Amino acid sequence: MAQGFLSRLRVSATVFRLGINLWPPFLGAGIHVTEITPDFRSATVRLRHGLLNRNYFGTHYGGSLFSMTDPFYALLLLHNLPRGYVVWDKASNIEFKVPGRGDVFARFTLTDEQIADVIANTEAGGKYEPTWTIDVVDVDEQIVATVAKTLYIRRKRDSDKLAPK
C-alpha cells in the first residue's frame, strides 16, 4: 500500500486519514486512525474491542493487534522523504505482554533523527533496513504488545523511474 495510488498523490493528512479509515481490512477489524499530524510525523491508531476481533478467551485477537501497526511507519516515512524513494514493510515481530481487554492504541512518531538516518544510509543508492518498535497500550498505558517493524528503504534507481506505471 505504501507504494500505491495514495502515496503518489501526496494528499493532506486529513484526507489520508479519512481514506485509510475506509480501507476494508481496517474497517472490518475495528481499527481506526484517530490522528495523523499535518506533517505526517505522528499517527495514533485505536483498535476497538468488539465481537469481531475477540479471540476464544474474550481478549483481542492477536492478528488484529498486529494489523493495527502494519503500514504506519512506512507511510509516515514515505511522506517525509523526498520523492524518489521506495519504502516497504519488510518484516514484523510481535511480543504479547498482557491480554488486551478494552480499546488499545498505538502511537507512531517519526523523528528528525530517524529521517536523517534513512537519508544518510540510502545516499549512495543502497538499501537500508532499520527496525523500529511500537508499543500497543491500553487506556491505562499498560503495554499489551510490542511490535518490531523492519522497513526496506532505498532510493529509486533510474530503471525504476522508467518502468510503466
- DSSP secondary structure string for all residues of 55-72: -TTSSBPHHHHHHTTSSH
Among residues 9, 72, 80, the alpha carbon closest in space to that of 39 is found at 80
Q: Give 68-117 pLDDT, tens digit per residue.
A: 999 999 999 999 999 999 999 999 999 999 998 899 999 999 999 999 99
Over 90: is that where the pLDDT of 50 sits?
no
* Residue 23 pLDDT grade (very low, low, confident, very high; cuts 50, 70, 90): very high
Q: What is the pLDDT of residue 51?
A: 77
Q: What is the pLDDT of residue 160?
A: 57
Q: Which residues contact 7 (CB under 8 A, 6 or more apart)?
A: 1, 75, 78, 79
Over 50: is that where the pLDDT of 3 sits?
no
Average pLDDT, rounded, for the chain: 88
Q: What is the pLDDT of residue 87?
A: 96
What span, in angstroms and rounded, lies between the C-alpha atoms of 128 and 141? 32
Q: What is the pLDDT of residue 63?
A: 86
**Which helix (H) or strand (E) is 50 found in, with range?**
none
Average pLDDT over residues 14-32: 92
Output phi, psi for 122, to 5 deg: -115, 0
Cα distances (angstroms) measured from residue 162 to each of 1, 155, 156: 20, 14, 10
| This model's pTM is above 0.75 | yes
Q: What is the pLDDT of residue 158?
A: 65
**In order of start, what are the domains of the chain with their CATH numbers?**
5-162 (3.10.129.10)
Q: Give residue for cell 485477537.
A: 61
Cα distances (angstroms) measured from residue 58 to each of 54, 62, 75, 98, 137: 5, 12, 31, 13, 17
36 by DSSP, 3-state: which?
strand
